[in-house]
A = this chain, B = another copy of it.
Amino acid sequence: MKLYERPGFPNPARIHIVLAAKGLADRVENVSVDLIGAEHKQPAYRSRNPLAVLPALELDDGTVLAECTAITEYLDNLDGKPLLTGRTAREKGQIHMMQRRAESELLDAVGHYFHHATSGLGADLQAHKSPEWGGRKEWGEREGRRAVEGMRYFDAVLRTQPYVAGDTFSMADITVFAGLMFAGAAGLAMPDDLDALKAWQDRVSALPAVAQRGSQSFVAEDLKRLGF
């Protein structure tokens, strides 16, 4: 299998954590796509994923799976022993509910803030954005506020249970973790009073599958190109 990704970026990081948790990292060849150079907007990548987002997993027969939840469902169920997506109907329901909330209320909101209210990934990528949409920055700023509200929601959840979807670590934890990693890189700080979320972040950072792959942020080469 080939994983089209970019080291240090939040959505690819989710899949690296899944691969590590499932012991599958050795079965995947990583193909780095130059997001800052807008390589994912070019025809070669779009022929694999018409929505032009990373990551995408290409199976050995050429089938391409995109969208992190989908890639995670595939990898987690390959051996018939799901660890991250739930075993019972109830677990599947609770994990998918929190997975969707982790995306809509945190990770995707941070992404909208980063790409629309800041200079994002720079000039090459900006050129692919609709010029006609005048309220873009204001919307991006609103999304940043929504992301911080999302942190507050997950803090409240983690005051009542050890992991995002209940008693065990799941893909929803991975998504919140990547959301916080992205928020930090985008300049959205976690409010000081979110003790449960901070304690959970420390615990998750120390899990072997996360410590091994997940805590890296944007690589030095990319940060330099972005002017940091």
Which of A32-40, A68-76, A173-181, A185-193 is the interface stretch? A68-76
How would residues 47 to 75 of chain A score, 1 for a CB under 8 Å from any chain B CB and 0 otherwise?
Answer: 00011000000010001011101110111
Copies of this chain assembled into the complex:
2
Beta-carbon contact of B77 and A96 below 8 Å: no
A134 within 8 A of B: yes
Minimum Cβ distance to chain B for residue A97 (Å):
4
Beta-carbon contact of A100 and B67 below 8 Å: yes
A153 within 8 A of B: yes
Residue of B73, B88, B90, B134 touching A92 (CB-CB under 8 A):
B73
Which of A6-14, A135-143, A199-207 is the interface stretch? A135-143
Beta-carbon contact of A65 and B93 below 8 Å: yes
> How far is it, in angstroms, between the C-alpha of A25 and the C-alpha of B132 when the chains are bound?
46
Beta-carbon contact of B67 and A89 below 8 Å: no
What B residues does A90 contact at CB under 8 A?
Answer: 59, 63, 74
Beta-carbon contact of A88 and B96 below 8 Å: no
Residue of B67, B94, B101, B135 touching A101 (CB-CB under 8 A):
B67
Beta-carbon contact of B135 and A100 below 8 Å: no
Minimum Cβ distance to chain B for residue A1 (Å):
11
Minimum Cβ distance to chain B for residue A130 (Å):
7
> How far is it, in angstroms, between the C-alpha of A70 and the C-alpha of B76 when the chains are bound?
17
A44 within 8 A of B: no
What B residues does A127 contact at CB under 8 A?
Answer: none
Residue of B69, B78, B92 touching A100 (CB-CB under 8 A):
B69
Binding site for B on A (CB under 8 A): 50-51, 59, 63, 65-67, 69-71, 73-78, 86, 88-90, 92-97, 99-101, 105, 130, 132-136, 138-139, 142, 153
**What are the 5 tightest A-B residue pairs by CB atom distance, in nearest-first order?**
A135-B135, A74-B93, A70-B97, A70-B96, A77-B89
Known: A70-B92, A70-B93. 5 other contacts (CB 8 A): A65-B93, A65-B94, A69-B96, A73-B86, A76-B89
